[in-house]
Amino acid sequence: MAEFWKELVHNPMMVSAALAWLTAQVIKTVLVLVMERRFVPERLFGSGGMPSAHSATVCALVTSVGFSYGGSGAAFPLAFFFAFIVMYDARGVRRETGEQAKLLNELLQEWKESGRKVESRDPMDQFKELVGHTPLQVFIGALLGIAVAVAVHFGFYAG
């Protein structure tokens, strides 16, 4: 078991992806702290926001796979299309879900203020609105992921 963890920590693909995710989440948290002047712990683990941790993670992975195995085998196209699907989903389906949640929250608020009772859920509950990403958040996340993978491969694992 110890050998497994040792190999995992020395796997540049794993390190690149994990470090890109962590970096994106920390950046999100710091941006909220600076812009809103409050610490929001949910930003450390939550989805949505700038930069996209989804994009950072999968772009670090695909870049790292490319550095490790090149583009001629099966690993690179698998990683590439995995990244494409994740980024498309983060920008499209998940963003639309957030927009629908925003509208539902507005409707629930209006119902609450009018005295109506919402039978199926507590009207104080809010749907999570920050679940997807804008194209810019996806793009910046992608650049971050590529930069992290480059730093890992040519910094930590060079030689």
| Residue-level pLDDT at 95 | 64
For the segment 123-158, what is each residue's pLDDT rounded down to a tens digit?
556 666 666 678 888 899 999 999 999 999 998 766
pLDDT class for 49, splitting at 50, 70, 90? confident
Domain assignments of the chain as residue spans, ordered by start: 2-80+133-156, 93-131
For the segment 53-68, what is each residue's pLDDT rounded down to a tens digit?
999 999 999 999 999 9
For the segment 50-108, what is each residue's pLDDT rounded down to a tens digit?
899 999 999 999 999 999 999 888 999 999 999 999 888 877 666 667 677 777 777 77
Predicted confidence (pLDDT) at residue 33 exceeds the cutoff of 70: yes
Residue 110: how many other CB atoms lie within 10 Å: 10
CA distances from 136 to 27, 45, 101, 143 (A): 15, 20, 21, 11
Rounded Cα distance, 60 and 73, in Å:
18
Residue 127 amino acid letter: F
| Residue-level pLDDT at 75 | 94
| Residue-level pLDDT at 57 | 96
Sign for the pseudo-dihedral over CA of 140, 141, 142, 146: positive
Stated pTM of the model? 0.76
Rounded Cα distance, 12 and 10, in Å:
6
